[in-house]
Amino acid sequence: MNKVPNSRYERMGFKPTPELRGEWKRRFDKEEPHVAVLMLARGGSKGIPMKNIKMLGDLELIGWGIRAALDSDIMDSVWVSTDHDDIAAVARRCGAQVHRRSSQVSHDKCNSWTAIDEFVRNHPEVDIIVHIQATCPCVHPFHVQEGVRMMLQDGKDSVFSVYRRHQLRWSAPKYGMQTSPLNFDPYNRPRRQQWPGELIENGAFYIFTRDVEQQGVLQGGRMGCLVMDSDYSIDIDTDQDWQLAEQRLLRFGYHGRAPKKMKLVVVNIDGTLLDGHVQVSSTGEEFRSFKSTDIAGIQMLQRNGIEFRVVAQGESQVQKELAKKLSLKLEENCTDKLEVIDSWRLELGIEWGNIGYMGCVIDDITCIKKAGMSGCPSDADTEVQKHSHVVSVYRGGQGALREFCEQLLLKCGVEPTLGDTNGKNEKFMAASHIFQKEHAQMSSQPEMPS
């Protein structure tokens, strides 16, 4: 990798002086210390099996840290230490070099330091180790740039990431004794605005010199900490953490140098735009409901030059009228959604990576897997939720589509704003209210989403 030294330091915001280079010579026995990223990714993870190469959004878990490290443009080398062939293959594809970890440091009882020590002993050229943890995928290039700057310019021997927390802590009562406050006075409770809070390790990264590592620790000598915003501070250990990370990554993850370019969004209309229920009057008239905010989401995409189309497994006059009012292309009686969308892809001259897809049932999974960005409502089938990049907090027909549209625009580098709709949204807001009024007067018969 070996970046041009001067440009490396410019990216960190300083220019080395002769005195500073002399200090590096004393500390590292060279004027250009070798800075290496090391990520640990063994194949025997227990909480979430093979989590290191499980897809998180549109990238494997270890890929997020590798991408941030490479795009920082300050590293001499980026490594993944693993004992598993599949993880090694993914690491190389993402741009990292692979250190084949021995079985002696790959079992459950080994801590991180033992695996790091093996790497350090096998790579004597490395002077500063940037240990990015794969389970903290919201690390950005600017985080590691600042951490390494603190090592080189400020003379720190170790730097680690933290976040600020404002929580009042109490001791756990033992042997019948009462609990007691640990970080505040109950008679003088601090106001949040007047209390700086506490710094808590978030596990995102640990940076240290070879000398510190050889003491058997990752933090030592002249220590410093980098305070990361809590939005970037997530550590994946359980399935619940994984779901939270999927949501957090879309807004706070590092998605590479260029924003994603989405050209087409397709939804399975029933269960996403419509709520999946059919109301039938005594005269046999059919009613379905939707939420006006979802219409606003479609309009946001259209104003940003993104084509919006819909597919439906069945046929309905309601969905025909809705598509007509919104000027949307509609494919009804769709038995092969993948084939239809692929024909649209060829028509528009785009790739699947330029397509967003939102669905809710098992039949949608093939399209969800192919799309560059995918989503589903909170009431979608469980398997659909597992494969979707975005799982909305809202149900189908109740705001889920709006949330997906907003997240998609954010990933494209566009701030989602409603702007001027020339009264169009008001028309659909009224229509939505009419549907709700009719809903109260009619007996309902739920219909499975198409």
Are 374 and 357 in contact, with CB atoms under 8 Å apart? yes
pLDDT at 288: 63
Q: Which residue is it, tokens 């946001």? A: 300
Mean pLDDT calculated for residue range 19-41: 96
Q: What is the DSSP letter of 353?
A: G
**Structure tokens belonging to residue 312:** 């439906």
pLDDT at 280: 66
Compute the distance between CA of residue 113 and CA of residue 110 in angstroms, rounded to an integer: 8
Does position 441 have pLDDT exceeding 60, yes or no?
no
pLDDT at 278: 62
68-77, 165-174, 397-406, 427-436: the lowest-pLDDT one = 427-436
Confidence class for position 279, pLDDT limits 50, 70, 90: low
Confidence class for position 284, pLDDT limits 50, 70, 90: low
Confidence class for position 233, pLDDT limits 50, 70, 90: very high
186 or 429: which leads in pLDDT = 186
Distance (Å) of CA 312 to CA 1, 260, 370, 382, 398: 50, 27, 18, 20, 18
Question: What angle do helix axes 400-411 and 292-303 make, rounded to 10 degrees?
Answer: 20
**Structure tokens belonging to residue 257:** 């140098």
Q: Who contacts 61 (Cβ-Cβ below 8 Å, separation ≥6)?
A: 51, 52, 53, 54, 55, 134, 135, 137, 236
Mean pLDDT calculated for residue range 328-350: 94
Compute the distance between CA of residue 403 and CA of residue 258 in angstroms, rounded to an integer: 22
Mean pLDDT calculated for residue range 306-317: 89
Compute the distance between CA of residue 325 and CA of residue 430 in angstroms, rounded to an integer: 13
Mean pLDDT calculated for residue range 158-173: 95
Question: In 3D, which of 405, 441, 442 has the Cα closest to residue 280?
Answer: 442
169 or 256: which leads in pLDDT = 169
DSSP element (H, E) containing 200: strand 198-209
115-129, 202-216, 348-362, 403-417: the lowest-pLDDT one = 403-417
- What type of residue sits at position 385? Q
Question: In 3D, which of 289, 272, 114, 135 has the Cα closest to residue 201?
Answer: 135
pLDDT at 444: 32
pLDDT at 450: 36
Does position 423 have pLDDT exceeding 70, yes or no?
no
Order of all β-strands in the sheet with 264-268: 329-331, 307-311, 264-268, 355-358, 373-376, 390-391
pLDDT at 315: 84
**Dihedrals φ, ψ of 77, to 5°?**
-160, 155
Compute the distance between CA of residue 141 and CA of residue 209 in angstroms, rounded to an integer: 20
Catalytic annotation, residues: 189
105 or 283: which leads in pLDDT = 105
Confidence class for position 242, pLDDT limits 50, 70, 90: confident
Are 95 and 72 in contact, with CB atoms under 8 Å apart? no
**Structure tokens belonging to residue 109:** 């009882």
Mean pLDDT calculated for residue range 436-444: 32
What angle (nearest 5°) sits at the alpha carbon of residue 394, between those of residues 235 and 444? 150
Confidence class for position 317, pLDDT limits 50, 70, 90: confident
Query: How far from the centroid of its chain's Cα atoms is residue 118's Cα?
Result: 31
Does position 94 have pLDDT exceeding 90, yes or no?
yes
Q: Who contacts 212 (Cβ-Cβ below 8 Å, separation ≥6)?
A: 157, 158, 218, 219, 220, 221
> What pTM, to 2 d.p., does this model score?
0.67
Are 30 and 58 in contact, with CB atoms under 8 Å apart? no
